Amino acid sequence: MNRGLFALALALILAAAPAHAAMPAGLTLMKEVTGSGGGASYSLDVQTLLVITGLAFLPGILLLMTGFTRIIIVLSVMRQAMGLQTTPPNMVLSALALALTVFVMRGVIQQEQTLAIDPYLAGQISFNQALAAAKGPEQDFMLAQTRKAPLHLFVDLSGGHYAAPKDVPMTVLVPAFATSELETAFQISFLIYVPFVLIDLAVASVLMSLGMIMVSPTLISLPLKLLMFVSIHGWVLVLGTLANSFVLPP
């Protein structure tokens, strides 16, 4: 799993980097500056500062270019539908979503590792060549999940005209893909939420008909929902549905 996470991160860094990017000749943390009086002082190199600042946005970029957004939203909504506020904890859900993301994108990771990562680490291709090689599989994956409406929206907002979807730059494709993932996640979440709502309504109706209006319906519905979820192997169904909801490019 550690090798898969490393390959995924490095592949997405290569795919998300602009085409004109190049590896810096060298980064120096501190730069010596000679003052007018002959004394030496040290200042933080601007190039290093920009790199450190860019690393702060890297996790968000990586998450928006994978299926992590769809998976974590569905798992969070499912937890809320069951009436469990903090169980499973956020850390567990995030780790599970990350593991499922690597599983879903294992084909893309293998392609990018074969075409870009391994040749670049072996010194067989340059950084720009690795960028071009890594962009293809990631772009195909994102295009396969992106809906037409969000893609047309951001193409219109960018003011560009492209002959084919593959010509759309990553700056336009990434927000379109993220919007499509939100729509898909909400659709799946709705289908998961409905059965739990029906159980809540049934329990509330029974309690009201018995005159037990002082008893909280959640007190009765929560164990019923847990029993139903466990008896039908709910985790297997939800995770399997999430994995099969992604359209993998050929």
Q: What number of residues does the chain have?
A: 250
Contacts of 100 by beta carbon, 8 Å cutoff, 6+ apart: 67, 71, 239, 242, 243
Q: One digit per residue, pLDDT tens: the chain, 250 residues?
A: 445 544 555 555 445 444 444 444 444 544 555 545 555 454 555 656 666 776 777 777 777 888 888 999 999 988 888 888 788 888 998 898 888 988 888 888 888 888 887 887 777 877 777 777 877 788 888 888 888 888 888 888 888 787 777 878 888 888 889 999 999 999 998 988 888 888 888 888 887 887 777 777 777 888 888 888 888 888 888 888 888 888 776 6
Separation CA 241–CA 31 (nearest Å): 54
Closest of 250, 223, 221, 6 to residue 113, by C-alpha: 6
- pLDDT value for 186: 92
Could you state, in order of their start, the residue ranges of all structural domains in the chain?
Answer: 2-20+45-244
- Cα–Cα distance for residue pair 129/111, rounded to 1 Å: 15
| 83/81 Cα distance (integer angstroms) | 5
